[in-house]
Amino acid sequence: MKKVLFYQKDTPKHQIKLWNIKLKKWYKDFNLVDLDDPRASEAPIALLWKAPMEKISKFNNLEVIISLGQGVDHIINDINFNENISVYRIVDPYMAKSMSHWVILSVLNYIRDYEGYRKQQINKIYKSRGHLDFKKIKIGVYGIGEIGKVVAKDLNTLGFDVLGWSRAKKKFDFLKSYNNKDGFNFMIKKCDIHVCLLPLTRDTKKIFNSDIFSKMKRGVCFINAGRGEHIVEKDLISFCGNKIKLAILDVFGVEPLPKNHPFWNNKNIVIWPHVSAETNIETSAKQVAEAIKLIHSGKIPENKIDLKLGY
């Protein structure tokens, strides 16, 4: 029976058993083995999420890595990654919708001043606080790939004016799309709400910095569910409370976010613990199992990563 290495950081040991059950519903000709299993080095395929790549790199039989999520930066950006290994990712409509729900929640809480009303309730104050006119708001979505395009379309359906940015030129009927540096800067200057859903690559690391924040309108909302490394954190802090009225963050450079991090005590920052679009075993197991089956058959599955682009 062929071996498939499995490692998912910060998850209970029983998770491997659950994945094994769900995967074998679709394909049975393999056995999952844990990273610490003596047979792990035999595996030509690995299912990984934030694995210790220094240890993984010593497995000479490894030919393919499948990321247990839509992001692959935790694999290909590691200095120990072997570029001769093919990398694939999960592209799950359930995860895209989950992300869309979280972004919509964040946007609506912001424009309807949810936190303000919660504070009024605590103080037994019953009066209108007003709200932003959604017809006058431009929302910029940075990263309009498999997840971003779903988020942008759902925001458009709710009546928002949505602009989208991507590395390569794209065309959608539900948003105005932009690309290249000029397009990025145009959106930074025009939008009232900025939503980062970018993949983490050499080009997008620290893309939101003091230079970019300084070009934003005064009083914007900044939402990040891409990666923490997209932001220069000290720059974000310096602009919170003036240019940036509210920052809603689901990802951070160091996770879990350290208890002494200045984000915790900043009244202009809302912290979420990287839960905007978690991998759903039920909905993703079929495509992972089918990818394993195709690889065993010498075929190439969908969603292969272009290592030069980083996604």
**DSSP per-residue letters across 76-115:** HTSTT--TTSEEEE---HHHHHHHHHHHHHHHHHHHTTHH
Closest C-alpha to 84, from 122, 119, 44 = 44
Q: 31 forms bridges with which residues in the sheet?
A: 3
Residues 6+ apart with CB under 8 A from 73: 199, 200, 201, 227, 229, 310
- The catalytically annotated residue of 42, 63, 255, 290 is 255
Active site residue 131: no
CA angle 224, 276, 173 (to 5 degrees): 70
Convert 107-124 to b/e letters by CB count within 10 Å (16 or more is b): bebbbebeeebeeeeeee
CA angle 237, 270, 110 (to 5 degrees): 110
- The catalytically annotated residue of 227, 229, 230, 233 is 227
C-alpha to C-alpha distances, 263 to 223, 236, 257, nearest whole angstrom:
14, 10, 9
What is the dihedral angle through the alpha carbons of 238, 179, 66, 151, rounded to the nearest 10 degrees? 70
Token pair for residue 88?
């694939």
3-state secondary structure at position 213: helix
Active site residue 255: yes
Active site residue 74: no
- The catalytically annotated residue of 261, 274, 290, 296 is 274
Write down the H helix ranges in 194-310. Answer: 210-215, 233-239, 281-296
Catalytic residues: 227, 255, 274
